[in-house]
Every structure is written in structure tokens, then in C-alpha cells.
Amino acid sequence: MNTRKNELADAVAQVKEDLAEAAKKAGRTPDDVSLVAVSKLHPASDIRDLVESGHMDFGENYVQEVQKKQETLADLDVNWHFIGGLQSNKAKFVAGKFALIHSVDSLKLAQALHKKAVSLDVVQDILLQVNIAEETQKSGIAVDSLQELADEVMKMDNIRLVGLMTMPPFFNEPELARPVFSRLRELRDGLETHVGRPLPHLSMGMTGDFIPAVEEGATLVRIGTRIFGARPPRG
């Protein structure tokens, strides 16, 4: 018996139950919200165990780490999500390798991703990361610059903008993050009108604050610690 595999599967099942309950409370259906299991710094074997248990969406932050995992797990049909800060000079290693890139926060990065996507003849789905709280230590475009960046991205044939992402400040009380989540939803709704097409995804909410995130409209929730346990130090 694979004890670790059972522990991981049970943890995912419990999180999905909580997500479903939060969705119903907000008048949404459980299918409206997808769980991205944040597997950064955890071994590829954990991902394999969860894929074999039926979970397919995994979030990674570091290019070099995820490249090794993608090679190790090449036999599996994993939906990879890149959720970490991304420098434009690393875009060539990411475009075309991920179901969704959550963290596009500059025109330079979008252009680099587009260039690589063109060379691969693929269309790369992306989210624009918005720094709503204007925290200097966090990535993300300023609210005032969002429409301008979206306009430029919409001109790129091999990049498909499908929504927005944010990371709120750390709060001991999850409810304090709610205004950030609500604001991202408002920005998305306004941007949909501005660009003239649906932007279905809102990537927001983590282990400590996913309940208010779902209640405010999250479609992608990024949860790591509650599934995998404490992250080991980065080597």
C-alpha cells in the first residue's frame, strides 16, 4: 500500500469538498472552480501519485525545476500551470509547455512568449497578473496599466488572454483578502467589456484564503501546503 499516495488523494478530495461547498454558498456550481495543486519543491513522485488518483492540474514556480519534472513525467497527461514570476529571457522555456501561464505582468514578457509560441506554431493561453495591493515585493502589473497591456496582448495571434490572476497581501484573517478578490473580479468584468470578448478565468486564492476567493468568483485556486504539507527549502 502506498501510504503517501493515499494521503495525497485524501487531501485533494477534502480540498475539493471545501471548494464545492464554497461554490454552492456563492450560488455557483462546483464545476465552476478548478483546483491547481501547487507542487513546487515537492517531488515528481507526488505528482505521479495524484495523476494516478485522477488529479491533473499542477502549478509550478521555477523554470529549471519544472523542466526536470516535465521530463520525468512525460508519459503522463499533466495540465501544467506556470504560476511563478517569469523573466522574459526564460519565456522560451515556458511557451508551449504549459496549459496556462498565470503570471504575465509586462509587455516584454508577453512579446517573448508570443515569439516562442509563433516559432512552435502554438497558441499559448495566459493570464495577466495584477498587483492590486501595490506591494513592491510582488510581481504584477499596476491596475492603471492593465487595459493598455491587455490591448497589446490582444494583437498577438499566438497568445490568448483568458483572464486575470492576483496574490493578495498575507493576512492572518482570510476575510481581509476579500476586497482584493472582489476588485480582481471587477477588473476582469470591465476588461471583458473593453476588449469585447469573454475572459473566463480568475486565478486567486491559496491555502489560507481560498474560501472568500471562491465566493468572489475564483475559477482557479492555487493550493499547495494543504495538499502536500510544508514545502522543503529550495535547494
pTM of the full predicted structure? 0.96
- Give 68-78 pLDDT, tens digit per residue: 999 999 999 99
**156 three-class SS:** coil
The two beta strands, 57-60 and 124-129, are: unpaired
DSSP one-letter string for 24-74: HHTT--GGG-EEEEE-TTS-HHHHHHHHHTT--EEEE--HHHHHHHHHHTT
The two beta strands, 220-223 and 100-104, are: unpaired
Give the helix ranges, DSSP H, for the chain.
3-25, 44-52, 63-72, 107-120, 146-154, 178-195, 210-215, 225-228
- Give 167-186 pLDDT, tens digit per residue: 998 888 989 999 999 999 99
> Looking at residue 137, what is its pLDDT?
74
Domains annotated for the chain, with CATH where assigned, are 3-226 (3.20.20.10)
d(CA 150, CA 51): 34
Helix pair angle (44-52, 63-72), 10° resolution? 50
Q: Where is average pLDDT lowest: 72-76, 138-142, 192-196?
A: 138-142
d(CA 28, CA 7): 28
Angle at 222 (CA atoms; ends 21, 49), nearest 5 degrees? 90
